[in-house]
Structure formats: structure tokens, C-alpha cells
Amino acid sequence: MHKIYLLALLTFVFSCTTKEVKKDVFVPVTVDTKPTIDTDTIPVKAVAEYGQLSIVNNKIVDKNGKPVQLRGMSLFWSQWIGKYYNADVVNWLKKDWQCNVIRAAMAIESGGYLENKAVEKAKIYTVIDAAIKEGIYVIVDWHDHNGEKHLEAAKAFFSEVAQKYKDVPNIIYEPYNEPLNVSWTSVLKPYHEAVIAEIRKHDPDNLIICGTRNWSQNVNDVINNKIADPNVAYTLHYYSATHKQNLRDIAKAAINAGVPLFVTEYGVSEASGDGSIDTEEAAKWWAFLDENGISHCNWSIADKSELSAALKPNANQNGSWALSDLSTSGLMVRKEIRAKN
């Protein structure tokens, strides 16, 4: 009896130990060449649970008024690495990375929308439709540094998107990615108000995220000068090896003044997308975002040879990436998203 009991006890202990090891198999970066999806993963919470998003007391909240923090990935400039703008990648980012938001960065200049309207728009609609099918949120990003020069094109595009998708809560509009060092009061705010007016003709409810001065960093410009729309948040971008406590202080001042923020783009590298990775500052930023309930998307799903790219060169254009396909940044960010979402 004692031998039988001991054997049963050892079997039980061994099984518990192997289960505990299984929890962490996605962390190492060695020898894993198979797709990484874990069949035991709990389905990510997204549109089915949160529903229509809105802003209350400078926080993004769900249909029941409960604060929501979205975490996901941004695609790269659509005209340069458009191969990942497909339904399989969206599906993989939801299932394996546990993303509940994806950002479609439609390039405007340099061979983008202004020169190839139909081609670039088709990529964005492919991602939007895939996100809706997967039940996650999608940020429609006018990826431009000179939006005020392209106001009429932006108005026409966002009017079309709003008409097409006005009845679904998945859509989040981003009318201007990263303005340069131009005035919030005389340039950016009027630009946003004009685009928002076109969106609201068709879609009165979905969130809009407005870019801010100086590469979407001077969110303090918005203090006491917000746009008169209850469901507008403001864009904060950072790269952890470049932007540190000073930018967090600027962000905190805006938050304390009632300005809702959304980090539609960040990196763990320098602002160039390369240089170095600062893991300590990356952790500080993630903690700051969590403390303040700020949603975020990492830059980017790309296989470019630079540190901010989540993928190594020639990674499968249809997702199904093994850990060995991911860069250092990709491994860090995937782990963060899976742990929190």
C-alpha cells in the first residue's frame, strides 16, 4: 500500500512540475522552429466583451463604462512592407500574440496613398475586414508627417471609411500619425476638426485619436485646448531608448489635466528604429502605461533589418511565426502583450 501510494504521489508531483514548465516555454529564444501558438491560451478579450468604446473622465471605457486598456501591434508603412497586410497575419496576431488591436498604417507620401490610392486603400480595407472577422479593434492610421498639406485627401478618405464601417464598433480613426513641429492651435487642431467633421457625418460614436506636435510627443499642448468631441483621445509616441522620464512627465501633466492618451506607436529601440534597445526603460514605460490605463500598439510588424522590427528578415508573410522568426523586440513585445491581454 505504501509503495502504491508513494508511486501515485510521485506521479502527481511530476505532472504538476511539467505543467509548471509548460507555462514558460514561449519565453526562451532557442531551437524553437515551429509556430508558437498555444492551444491552452484563453481567447483574448476584445470587441465581443468590450463592445462600443468611449471616453469617460479621460479614460477609454467599454460598453459598460469599465476602463479598457488595449494592447497590440502596428503594421509598417503600407507602401514599403505591404505583404503583412493580410487576414492570416491579423488572425495570427490575435491567436498567438493575443493582440486585441491592430494598427493599419496607410502611407500617404513617398509612393503611398497620394500616388497609388486604390492599391493602398485596398490594403487597409483588407486589414479592417480581417479585424472585424477576428473580433478585434483596428486603428485606421493616416500615416503622414504633413497631413495639413493633404487635408482634402484625408477628409475624403475618412468620410469613405466612416460610411463603410459606421455600424461596427471595431473602428478607431487616427487622422494624423506624426505631425512635425507645427502649432497645435493654428494648424493641428483645425486640421483634426475638419477631418472629424467628415467622420461624424456618418459615424457619431467610434473613437478618434488625434496626432500631436513634434512627432506626437507634445501632448501637453492639448491642456485647456482639447477638441470639442467627447470621444477623442490624443496620440503619444515614444521609443524607449530615446524618450525617457522627461516625456513621461509631459504625458503625466496632460493626464492630470484630463487629457486622454493613446500610444498608437512605440518602440523599445531608439527613435530611428535602430541603434540600441533599452530594456530597463521599456519596462518603465510599460509600467507607466499600465498605471495610467493607456492603450498601446508596438512598431512594428515588419521584417526590415532594424531593431524596431518585430520579425527577422524573410519571416513568413502569412504569420505562423516561430520564436526563431522573431527579433529581440518581437520577443519582448509578444511576451508583454500575452502576459497582459
pLDDT for position 20: 31
219-225: long-range contacts, CB 8 A cutoff, minimum separation 24: 219/250, 219/251, 219/254, 219/259, 219/261, 220/250, 220/253, 220/254, 220/257, 221/184, 221/185, 222/184, 222/254, 222/259, 223/253, 223/254, 223/257, 223/259, 224/257, 225/184, 225/185, 225/189
Residue tagged active-site, from 120, 178, 198, 336: 178
- Is there a catalytic annotation at residue 265? yes
Burial of 182 (0-12, 13-18, 19+ CB in 10 A): middle
Kindly give, in sequence order, each residue whose CB lies less than 8 Å from that of residue 167, ignoring residues fewer than 6 positions away.
none
Kindly give, in sequence order, each residue whose CB lies less than 8 Å from that of residue 22, ignoring residues fewer than 6 positions away.
none
Kindly give, in sequence order, each residue whose CB lies less than 8 Å from that of residue 326, ignoring residues fewer than 6 positions away.
29, 310, 311, 312, 315, 334
Q: How far apart are CA 206 and CA 140, in angstroms?
A: 12
pLDDT for position 16: 37
Residue 207's nearest CA partner among 227, 230, 232, 234 is 232
Q: How far apart are CA 219 and CA 249, in angstroms?
A: 11
CATH class, 47-340 region:
alpha beta
What's the CA angle centered on 179, arms 253 and 202, to 5 degrees? 95
- Domains of the chain by residue range: 47-340
pLDDT less than 70: residues of the chain: 1-42
pLDDT for position 258: 98
Q: How far apart are CA 226 and CA 189, in angstroms?
A: 8
pLDDT for position 36: 64
Q: How far apart are CA 206 and CA 151, in angstroms?
A: 21
Kindly give, in sequence order, each residue whose CB lies less than 8 Å from that of residue 288, ignoring residues fewer than 6 positions away.
248, 251, 294
pLDDT digits (tens, 9 = 90+) for 105-157: 999 999 999 999 999 999 999 999 999 999 999 999 999 999 999 999 999 99
pLDDT for position 44: 87
Residue tagged active-site, from 265, 270, 281, 336: 265
Single pTM value for the model: 0.89
